[in-house]
Amino acid sequence: MRSLRQTTPALAWPSLRDARGRLLGLPFVLATGVPGILFGWQASVAGLIVAGVASFVVFVPMTALALNRGAPLSEDATLPPLTARCYVVLLVLWTAAAWLGAALTGTQS
| pLDDT value of position 21 | 56
pLDDT in tens, 71-99: 777 778 777 777 888 888 888 988 998 89
Residue 55 in this model has a pLDDT that exceeds 60: yes
Q: Which amino acid is at 48?
A: L
Pair 64, 82: CB distance under 8 Å:
no
79 touches 20 (CB < 8 A): no
Please name which of 3, 10, 37, 34 lies closest in space to residue 96, comparing C-alpha atoms. Answer: 34
Rounded CA separation 15/5 (Å): 14
Mean pLDDT in residue range 45-68: 84
Of the two residues 26 and 45, the one the predictor is more confident about is 45
The model's pTM is: 0.67
